[in-house]
Structure 1
Amino acid sequence: MTVPARQGLEAVDILRRGVGGEAVGPVLHDGDCDTLGFLVPPGTADGWDLPGSACTQTFGHDVSLTPDPVPPPPVVGTGWLVPPGETEPVTDPDALRAALGEAARMIEAADNCR
């Protein structure tokens, strides 16, 4: 699941403030820090339709998420913002959808206050 970095960073904070602070799974950033990528369960792409985000099925691109040692990012040119092993194995799509919606509202409110 990829989203613009600003919205994604807000969503990470929102998810971390959730119950137990562990609602967020591993998160990647691209080399230019323009986008963030959340790892979500297989099949999420089939029903994802949130504007401003993209969910792409990897068709079996397997990533080992064992924490010791932290695996290299699965996509060339990316890095871990939230590495595997410090989090849930993946981010729950419903929690992510809610966090992204809240993040978008916060960003819009901040932009309107200028």
Structure 2
Amino acid sequence: MGIAGPRSAIEWLVSAAADPEGCRFEWERNPLGVALLPAGRLWDILILSGELGYPTLDVLTRLTGRPGPVLADFGDSRLGFFVPPGTAGRWLGTGVRAIGRGTWIVVPYPGRPTGGVRWLIPPDGTGHLTDPVVLELAMHEAAAQLAGE
């Protein structure tokens, strides 16, 4: 799966909004470079602490080559992994916050620096997401590595 580019990533992200054109218009003019987008339509998000999230991302990258989009919050204290819609309603793992239908997420404009949330793995515009089963396996491996340190 090739990388489609920033423009198609923006198109994909705003397609989650009720009014994609209005969302893009406001987002491109927002001095903070962020938009509030609904979860649960095109993606859910699993949020891990930075302590577990970074090692999980390392394992996930080794397993998959390129995971789906991943956000880091201000200070890198939390990482958000984009997973298929419906995952949040089925997620049973402890220590993980699941964001799905009925919730919103602050999303930075791809390729534009912001003062807070940022892309660790930006969307590629294809809709590629992280498989939650593979994410869970990566979390277990990362937790075992952390426990062994």
The verdict on a shared fold, with TM-score over 0.5 as the criterion, is yes
- Cα distance in 2 for partners of 1:101, 1:46 equals 20
2:49 corresponds to which residue? 4
Matched, 1:17 2:62: yes
Q: Could you state the TM-score of these two structures normalised by the residue count of structure 1?
A: 0.75
Check 1:100–1:25 CA distance in 2 against 1; reply closer, same or farther (3 A cut).
same
Tell which deviates more after alignment, 78-87 or 4-13: 78-87
One-letter amino acid of the counterpart of residue 37, structure 1: G
Secondary structure of residue in 2 paired with 1:32: helix
Runs ≥4 in structure 1, deviation > 6 angstroms? none
1:66 corresponds to which residue? none
Larger radius of gyration: 2
Query: Unpaired runs of 5+ in structure 1?
Result: 64-68
Check 1:32–1:102 CA distance in 2 against 1; reply closer, same or farther (3 A cut).
same
- Deviation of 1:70 after TM superposition, in Å, equals 2.8
Q: Which of these residues, 87, 91, 99, is aligned with residue 56 of structure 1?
A: 99
- Tell me how large the CA RMSD over aligned residues is: 3.0
- Deviation of 1:44 after TM superposition, in Å, equals 0.1
Secondary structure of residue in 2 paired with 1:70: coil
- Cα distance in 2 for partners of 1:87, 1:18 equals 20
2:12 corresponds to which residue? none
1:29 corresponds to which residue? 72
Q: Retained in 2: the 8 A contact 1:26–1:88?
A: no
Q: Could you state the TM-score of these two structures normalised by the residue count of structure 2?
A: 0.59
Check 1:102–1:37 CA distance in 2 against 1; reply closer, same or farther (3 A cut).
same
Q: What do residues 60-97 of structure 1 show as CA deviations (whole Å, max 9, x unaligned)? A: 8599xxxxx8377xxx9311011111997211000001
1:70 corresponds to which residue? 110
Q: Retained in 2: the 8 A contact 1:25–1:87?
A: no
**Higher strand fraction (1 or 2):** 2
Percent identity, aligned pairs only, is 36
Secondary structure of residue in 1 paired with 2:97: coil
**Higher helix fraction (1 or 2):** 2
Q: Retained in 2: the 8 A contact 1:70–1:85?
A: no
2:26 corresponds to which residue? none
